[in-house]
Structure 1
Amino acid sequence: MGGPNGHKVLAVPSLTFPSPHQSDTHRHRVLIFFIPGNPGLIGYYKPFLSTLRALLNESESRTGSTVTYHIHGQNLLGFSDSDHAQPFGRIPPFTLEDQILHTSSTLKSLSASFSKVLLIGHSVGSYIAIESFHRHHISQNLTPSLHSAILLFPTISHIAQSPNGRRLTAVANNTLLDRHAHRFARWFLYFWPAWLLYSFLRIILRLPADGAKVTTSWLKSRDGVWQALHMGKDEMRTITEERWKEDLWENGEDEEEKDKFVFLFGRGDRWVADQCRDAFVERRRGHEKGRVRVVVDEGGLPHAFCLRHSEVVAGKVKEWVEDMVRW
C-alpha cells in the first residue's frame, strides 16, 4: 500500500493477543492498541503484552463479566527492513508525522468492530497517542470509538530539555554527526557478527534473551538504526511546547466519573525533563473538568520498563484498563 513520504509501506510487524471469549457476542468488545517508543519495535513489548493478556483473561473469566479485550500492537514504520520497499537514501526515513498518520490510518481500519478503543503508548508512543486523540477531537470520523489512553513514561513536551535529549540535540547540532551518524553506526556494527553482538548484549549488558534478540536484529538491519536516529532528531524538533487545548482532557457527560487519560511517569527518567513533568502535573491538577490521573512512580521503574519490569507495569495497566472501560 502507499505510505507516508513516498515510501511504499509493506507488511508492518505486529503482535496480536485476542480474547479467549471473542466469540461471545453478548459482551462489549474493547480494542487495546499499543504504540511503542523509539526504537519502535513491538518485539520488545511481547513480555508486557502477554502478561497483560493473561491478567485480562482472569478479569474476563469472572462471573458477570461483560467485556472482551483484544490486544494489538505493531512496529513504528521504518524499524523493520521488510516494511518498506526501497532502502532509505533517495527517500529519507519516516518522520514523527509519518508515524502519526500511519497509526491513525491503522486505528481507523481496525476499530470498526469494537465498542471502545483504548490506546497504550510508551515514550514517544504516548505523544503519538495523544496526537491521535487531538486529531480525532477535531475530526470525529477518524476513529469514532476512540475512548481513553494510558501513557507510560511519556515524552510529550520539551524532550530536548531532558538529559538524553540534550545529548541527541548535540549530535544534531554537529554537522558531521548530523549527516553521517547512521553511516558511522552501520560501519561499526558491520564488524560485529550477529552471534557476537547477541552475546555482548546478553553477557555484558545483561539484557534478557528476548530483548537481546530484538536488539540484535534491529542493530544488524539495513535501515533500523538510521530510522531511530532520524526520528529521534525529529522528536527533538517537534515535541516542544504542549500544543493541545484544555478541552482535549475532558470526558463526555456519560463518562464523567472515569479517567480519560492515565499518565505513568518515572522518577529520574532521563528522557523526561523534571521541570516539564512537574509543570504538566500542575496544569492537569488545575483543570477542574479534566479526567486525567497522573502517577509518578517512586519505586524505581525505568523508562525502558519493557526489558525487565514488564510484569510490574502490566499489573498497574490491568487495573487502569478495568477502571477506564467499565460499563
Structure 2
Amino acid sequence: MPQILSYSPASTDKSPTKDTRHVLVYLVSGNPGLIDYYEPFLSTLHTLFETSSVQKGASIHIRGRNLAGFDDSDHDEPFTKDNPPRNLEFQIQHVLSDIASVKVEAKGPRNGTPFDDVIFIGHSVGSYITLEVFHRHLHAHPEIRDVNLRAAILLFPTITHIAQSPSGRKLDLLRSTPFLDQNAHRIAKWFIDLCPASVLRFIIRRFMGFPPHAAEVTLRFIQSRDGVWQALHMGKDEMRTIGEETWAEELWEIADEAAEKDRDVPKFFFFFGKGDHWVAEECKDEFINRRLQHAEREGPKHKRGKTRVVLDEDAIPHSFCIHHSEKVAEKVKFWIDEILSI
C-alpha cells in the first residue's frame, strides 16, 4: 500500500523555463488517513490538468500522503499504552514537516527549488488540519515560514463541533464510556480476525457496496496490525479537539499585496455536503454566517474575509472518494483554475 501518491506534469518537448510557475496541489486526507483511497480522485485531477489548455504558464504537481500511524510500516513498534497511536496534533506536525520538505522535481534550473504556490485540498478532518497549517503559517511557524500558501479547497469540512454531528455523537458516546473507550479497538479487531479475507471482501463489496479499488484498500486497512486502533484513537481525539472555532479573523483575510492587485479570488473554498452525517447543521450554519459577516464588514478590502461557500446539490456523500471521485475532481479543477487565474 503506497504511503505517498505523487503526480508530476508530463514531459514534453518544451521543458519548463525559469519563468514557469511551479504549483503544488497538496491533499490532506480524512480519517482513515490512507492516501490510496484517493487514487481515483487524484489521478482524475491530474488527467484534467494534463488535458487542459488553461494552464496560465503554470506547471501543476500533485501530492498526497498517508496520515501518520495508518500504515504499519511507518512505525517500527506496535502501538501500546506507552506507545499510543497518533493524535490530531501529531498529524498536523506530520503535514507541516512534509510540506516543508517537498521541492520542485523538474528538468532545468528549477529542480530542487521551493514551489511558487501551494494549494491545499483538505477532506473531512483534513480540512481542520489544513486550516491549522494556514494558521501556524500566519504566525511564522519555522518549518513553513517560507512556503507560499496560496489557497485551500476544503471538501466536506469537519472544522467545528464535530461531536455534535450525528456520527460524532456516536463516536463521542464510545469515547465517554470507559470500557469501550479502552477496548473498542480490541473488540473490533477480534471480530475482524475471526473472518477470512474472502468473507470480509464479500461483506465490503456486497453489503457496503464498495467498488473493487476501495474494497481492497479497506480490506488491507482493517487487516493491518494497528490501523483500526489508529482510526479510533484519532477519531476520539477529533471529538475532544474540534469544538468552538478558535482561529483569529486574520486567518480568513487576504494579504495586503493581493488586495493591491485587486484579486477577488477567495482564499478558502468550502464545499459542504447535503445532510453530511459528520457535520452538525446548526454549527455549519453559524460558521457560514460568520464568514459572510466578515466578508461584508466595513474596512479595508484586505481586512475582509475571502471565503467562498458552496453547498452540494448533487447528494455527494461525505466519503466522496469511494464512488464520486471524478465528479468532485471536476469541481476542484474548476476552483484551482480560478485560483490561478490571476
State the TM bucket, normalised to the shorter chain.
Answer: over 0.9
Q: Offset of 1:240 from its aligned partner? A: 0.3
Tell whether the 8 Å contact from 1:259 to 1:293 is kept in structure 2 after alignment: yes
The DSSP-based 3-state class of the residue aligned with 1:121 is strand
* 2:84 pairs with 1:83: no
Change (3 A) 1:130 1:165: same
1:20-99 mapped onto 2 (5 Å cutoff): 20-21=10-11, 23-25=15-17, 26-59=19-52, 61=53, 65-89=56-80, 90-99=82-91
Select between 23-32 and 149-158 the one with higher mean Cα deviation: 23-32
Amino acid at match of 1:276: C
Tell me how far apart the structure 2 counterparts of residues 134 and 12 of structure 1 sit (CA, whole Å).
29
Q: CA deviation at 1:314?
A: 0.4
Choose 201-210 or 135-144, whichever is displaced more.
135-144
1:128 aligned residue: 129
Alignment of 1:1-327 (within 5 A): 13-21=3-11, 23-25=15-17, 26-59=19-52, 61=53, 65-89=56-80, 90-111=82-103, 112-139=113-140, 141-143=142-144, 144-255=147-258, 256-288=263-295, 289-327=304-342
1:223 & 1:80 partners in 2: Cα distance?
8
Residue by residue over 1:13-58, the C-alpha shift from the partner in whole angstroms, topping out at 9 and shown as x without a partner, is: 0101111158412421000010000000101100000111111112
- Greater alpha carbon shift after TM alignment, 130-139 vs 140-149: 140-149
CA–CA distance in structure 1, aligned partners of residues 137 and 79 of structure 2: 31
What SS does the aligned partner of 2:44 have? Answer: helix
User: Separation in 2 of the partners of 1:218 and 1:300?
Assistant: 27
8 Å Cα contact 1:12-1:82 kept in structure 2? no
RMSD (Å), alpha carbons: 1.6
CA distance in 2, matches of 1:44, 1:131: 23
Maintained 8 Å contact 1:34/1:72: yes
Give yes or no for contact 1:15–1:73 (8 Å, CA) kept in 2: yes
Are the counterparts in 2 of residues 21 and 68 from structure 1 also a CA contact under 8 Å? no
Deviations 1:129-150 (A, max 9, x none): 0000000000165332111100
Distance 1:12 1:199 in 2: 24
Between the two proteins, the alignment pairs up a number of residues equal to: 315
Q: Which residue of 2 aligns with 1:4?
A: none
- Which stretch shifts more, 175-184 or 190-199? 190-199
Q: 1:86 to 1:262 in 2, by over 3 A?
A: same
Q: Secondary structure at the match of 2:163?
A: helix
Gaps (5+ residues) in structure 2? Answer: 104-112, 296-303
Q: CA separation in 2, counterparts of 1:91 and 1:260?
A: 38
Q: Cα distance 1:148–1:279, how it changes in 2: closer, same or farther (>3 A)?
A: same
Greater CA drift, 169-178 or 21-30:
21-30
Contact between 2:2 and 2:35, CA under 8 Å: does it hold in 1? no
State the Cα deviation string for residues 127-170 of structure 1 (Å, max 9, x = none): 00000000000016533211110000000000000000000011
SS in 2 for 1:287: helix
TM-score by length of 2: 0.89
- Mapped partners of 1:262, 1:194: distance in 2: 40
Does the CA-based 8 Å contact 2:2-2:36 persist in structure 1? no
What is the one-letter code of the residue matched to 1:19?
P
Cα deviation, residue 192, structure 1? 1.3
The amino acid across from 2:250 in the alignment is D
Unaligned runs of 5+ in 1: 1-10
Describe the SS at the equivalent of 1:264: strand
- Matched residue SS, 1:286: helix
Instruction: Give the Cα–Cα distance (whole angstroms) in 1 for the partners of residues 62 and 29 of structure 2.
Output: 13
Per-residue CA deviations over 1:201-255 (Å, capped at 9, x if unaligned) read 1122220000000000000000000000000000000000001000111112333
Structure 1 distance, partners of 2:88, 2:336, is 27
TM-score normalised over the length of structure 1: 0.93
Tell me the amino acid that sits aligned with residue 77 of structure 1: A
Runs of 4+ residues over 3 Å off in structure 1: none
Alpha-carbon deviation of 1:113?
2.2
Secondary structure in structure 1 of the residue aligned to 2:97: helix
Q: CA deviation at 1:195?
A: 2.4
